[in-house]
């Protein structure tokens, strides 16, 4: 597994992974907005499929429409989409990052991939974009993600946002301080 910066060539594969893994989906335009605005803040986890290395990628795409190969047999198995806060309405003027979306394809879970993606993203938001903290929303029923954020990465629950999700589920609003002296 390789963790690397996401590029425009990965967008379709990231969107596909998101559609597979989460009910919260976004337009390609919104992915592109992330990559163009904060090109160092989003990452993909990829693996090379030995059977496909060296094959013409367009013919591969036709055969396996559900899996996104981004070139030379490389397939995207996870992604993290990160950004800096750019909400003009916010009262908090502290520069801070936000994790818009994170997911790992089912057969690649529990291998530490999400942890690695998140750490790369947090590091970039802090070092490159000078984020003092990073925030995210997570479903209160999402045990796997809550374990990752709370226990592994030491995010704190700041508040509960009632009916944050379209189906009415509440979200935990979580934060992690990124200041080096904390």
Q: Three-state SS for 74?
A: strand
156 binds ligand ACO (CB under 6 A): no
14 binds ligand ACO (CB under 6 A): no
Read off the tokens for 155: 């995010």
Judged by CB under 6 A, the residue of 42, 46, 85, 103 near ligand ACO is: 103
86 binds ligand ACO (CB under 6 A): no
Query: Which has the closest alpha carbon to 134: 75, 83, 74, 79?
Result: 83
- Give the x-and-dash track for 111-150 against ligand ACO (CB under 6 A): xxxxx--------------------x-x---xxxx-xx--
State the nearest-atom distance from the C-beta of 138 to ligand ACO, in Å.
4
Distance between CA atoms of 155 and 142, rounded to whole angstroms? 15
102 binds ligand ACO (CB under 6 A): yes
Question: What pairs with residue 101 in β-bridges?
Answer: 81
Chain residues 45-84 in contact with ligand ACO, contact rule CB under 6 A: none
Question: What pairs with residue 75 in β-bridges?
Answer: 47, 69
Distance between CA atoms of 144 and 41, rounded to whole angstroms? 23
Backbone angles phi, psi at 122, to 5 degrees: -60, -40
How far from the centroid of its chain's Cα atoms is residue 80's Cα? Answer: 2
- DSSP state letter for 21: H
The count of residues interacting with ligand ACO (CB under 6 A) is 24
16 binds ligand ACO (CB under 6 A): no
Distance between CA atoms of 176 and 134, rounded to whole angstroms? 5
Q: Three-state SS for 149?
A: helix
**Which region among 29-37, 63-71, 88-96, 102-110 touches ligand ACO (by CB under 6 A)?**
102-110
State the nearest-atom distance from the C-beta of 90 to ligand ACO, in Å.
18
- Give the x-and-dash track for 22-51 against ligand ACO (CB under 6 A): x-----------------------------
Give residues in contact with ligand ACO (CB under 6 A). Answer: 21-22, 99, 101-104, 109-115, 136, 138, 142-145, 147-148, 151-152
């Amino acid at each position: 597994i390789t963790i690397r910066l996401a590029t425009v060539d990965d967008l379709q594969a990231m969107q596909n992974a998101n559609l597979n893994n989460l009910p919260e989906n976004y337009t390609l335009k919104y992915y592109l907005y992330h990559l163009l605005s904060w090109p160092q803040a989003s990452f993909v986890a990829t693996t090379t499929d030995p059977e496909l290395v060296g094959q013409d990628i367009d013919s591969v795409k036709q055969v396996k429409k559900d899996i996104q190969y981004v070139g030379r047999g490389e397939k995207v198995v996870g992604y993290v989409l990160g950004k800096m806060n750019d909400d003009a309405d916010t009262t908090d003027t502290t520069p801070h990052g936000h994790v818009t979306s994170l997911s790992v394809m089912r057969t690649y879970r529990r291998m530490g991939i999400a942890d690695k993606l998140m750490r790369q993203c947090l590091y970039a938001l802090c070092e490159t974009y000078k984020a003092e903290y990073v925030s995210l929303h997570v479903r209160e029923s999402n045990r796997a993600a809550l374990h990752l954020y709370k226990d592994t990465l030491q995010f704190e629950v700041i508040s509960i946002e009632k009916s944050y999700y379209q189906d009415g589920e509440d979200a935990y609003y979580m934060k992690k301080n990124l200041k080096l002296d904390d």
